[in-house]
Amino acid sequence: MIIILLGPPGAGKGTQAAHIVEKYGIPQLSTGDILRAAVAEQTPVGIKAKEVMDLGDLVSDDIVAAIVEERIDAEDCAGGFLLDGFPRTLAQAEMLDTMLLDDLMEKQERNLDAVIELRVDADLLIERLRTRVKETVARGEEPRKDDDEETFKYRLKVYQDQTAPLIPYYEKQGKLKVVDGMGAVDAVSAEIDAKLDQFRR
């Protein structure tokens, strides 16, 4: 089972990714983790990525895709995987399509099964954040850096500009499964399960 998890900051992707990994027994591939591992292991692509990062530049789509391709060829991904943080742009989505098509040509028969979009109300997320900050301050504690409202709004905008275009892209492919991300954690997990159980192999 190959799954992509989409959703803006604050949608609960981390919580639901952990649920999917546990229930379906597939590894979660987080782009940041893969990148750090490739650099630490000094793989050929990891060395390229380190050179770019040492210059203070952003790692290109080509390098990110190469690192993902290297990772999905690992033995623990043979039965599928959950992609979190990749693809982040339309260019990366097209690269992933090419990777999986290449696998198909090599008779690996690996297809993208579903793209789960945790759909949330951005205004309500901001309200929740404000409430959380007020409650934290009332307890005499320091709010988390992640709870800075302007930073959060900026991250939401980046998601809307760069990643949200993936939604119609995967909808056209018939892969998109929309889940209401505003409910209780267990309810969201149950809705995800209802969408994914048909793909269990």
Which residues participate in catalysis according to the annotation? 13, 88, 132, 144, 155
Sort residue 148 into left (φ over 0), alpha (ψ -120 to 50) or beta.
beta
Give the Å distances, CA to CA, from 131 to 12, 140, 168, 185.
17, 14, 32, 18
Distance in Å from the first CA to the final CA of the chain? 7
| Alpha carbon 65 to chain centroid, angstroms | 14
Burial letters for 84-94: b for 16+ Cβ neighbours within 10 Å, e otherwise? bbbbbbeebbe
Task: Name every residue whose Cβ is closer than 8 Å to that of residue 152 and which is 6 or more positions away in sequence.
Answer: 9, 10, 125, 126, 129, 146
Q: Which two tokens stand for residue 108?
A: 């690996």
